[in-house]
Amino acid sequence: MNTTDRLKELNNLFLRKTFPLRAATVSDYLTEHFDQLSYSERSFSRDLKALKEKLAERYPSLEETEGDLIRYSKSENRFYYIRDDISAFPSFSDKELDQIASIIDFNKHLFTGGNGNGIVNKLRAISLENNLLKHKELTNWPAIELINEGDRSGSEHLKFLVDAIAGKRLIEISHKGLAATSKAKTVTGLPLLIKEYNNGWYTGWYVVFQEISDSQTTISLDKLRLFALDRIESLRLSQTPHKTRIHPDFRPSDFFKNSLGLFRGVRAAERILIQVQENSWIKEYVTKYPIHSSQKILDAHHFTLSLEINQELENFLLRYSTELQVIEPAHLREKMRATLAIALSLYQ
């Protein structure tokens, strides 16, 4: 273990408020976790001095007013940082995490689809987990469980795609469908937007993409395609010369404007009239948390949506079919009735 790594580990021990930090306990810790066979009082004193210097560099004003930022408690027989929100190495304290979360919370308008809320919640969850260190014994399971993006999210492609989007670079994507019989296909085009979406199975990343087959093209919403990043096998910059015309008012996020969720069909948006059941819990819920930006409340029991009718919308309405009733359009109402009749027949 080199000196820098040891100092970082020692700094982490200082941040653990319940750790009785002194030469003997640090020596035992290093032996147990890093197989460091010898750690003397002299080495400990040298490391404390180095940490004091690093703290003074990071917090010069505090060091000037308070003196040494590492002190010794005779009654507890341990060394400690004089404040809970300082660290010898760049890291986020609970206070700093909360400050970042508050800044993001205040600027949620910069995020779409509630992603700002997700980031805020995760930062505050980290802060909460950090506070658990005050307990001497912890449970064998995590206290907080958040959505896990996992290996299927395709996040390893993000840097390449973001660079290509910013630089308006033509790329080649080798993409394979979800079916076992699918074969990889290569398409050339312009990536326009990365979108995160939780489709109920896992959280994934998708790229909005316009295929380009000639030397010049106009970018438009009706030509866009969507690729899941976790189904992309390879990416590379294209050497094909191209010119693109992008209207200054073009926004790829408008691709999802009339959809509930991520995927689009070929239908135009329709006015959907929905009735809420008299004593349903969902009555106040849809008022506080609109289903879609097009939602309009008509009265205590009715609201409308302006959406393309697709499988995602139908699945949503089926999920809450005991609370919500489709009144119009007639063809959607009939489809809901027929689907529910099939479901009922399975239980007879």
pLDDT digits (tens, 9 = 90+) for 256-282: 888 887 777 667 899 999 999 988 999
Instruction: Provide the Cα torsion 149, 150, 151, 152; round to 10°.
Output: -50
CA distances from 126 to 19, 109, 113 (A): 20, 23, 22
Render 114-167 in DSSP notation, one character per residue: THHHHHHHHHHHHHHHHHGGGSSS--SS-S-------GGG-GGGHHHHHHHHHH
- DSSP E strands in the chain: the ranges are 70-73, 78-81, 171-175, 185-198, 203-211, 216-218, 224-228, 232-237, 243-245, 270-276, 296-299, 302-307, 324-328
Q: Is the pLDDT confidence value at 215 over 70?
A: no
pLDDT at 93: 55
- Whether the CA torsion 291, 292, 293, 296 is positive or negative: it is negative
Q: Which pLDDT does position 37 carry in this prediction?
A: 78
Other C-beta atoms within 10 Å of 317: how many? 24
Which residue is associated with the tokens 């380009």? 212
List beta partners, residue 216. Answer: 243
**Mean of the per-residue pLDDT values for the chain?**
81
Tokens 């097009």 belong to 294
* Helix H or strand E segment including 334: helix 330-345
* 96 vs 79 pLDDT, higher one: 79
Q: How far apart (Å, rounded) are the C-alpha atoms in residues 229 and 149? A: 12
Most confident of 107-111, 146-150, 281-285: 281-285
Kindly state the percentage of the chain with pLDDT values over 90: 32
Nearest alpha-carbon partner for 165 in 190, 128, 202: 190
Helix-strand-coil split of the chain, %, nearest 5? 40, 20, 35
Q: How far apart are CA 193 and CA 178, in angstroms?
A: 21
Interatomic CA distance for residues 64 and 203, integer angstroms? 48
Read off the pLDDT of residues 70-94 as tens digits, 9 standing for 90 and up.
999 999 999 999 988 788 886 655 5
Q: Is the pLDDT of residue 45 over 70?
A: yes
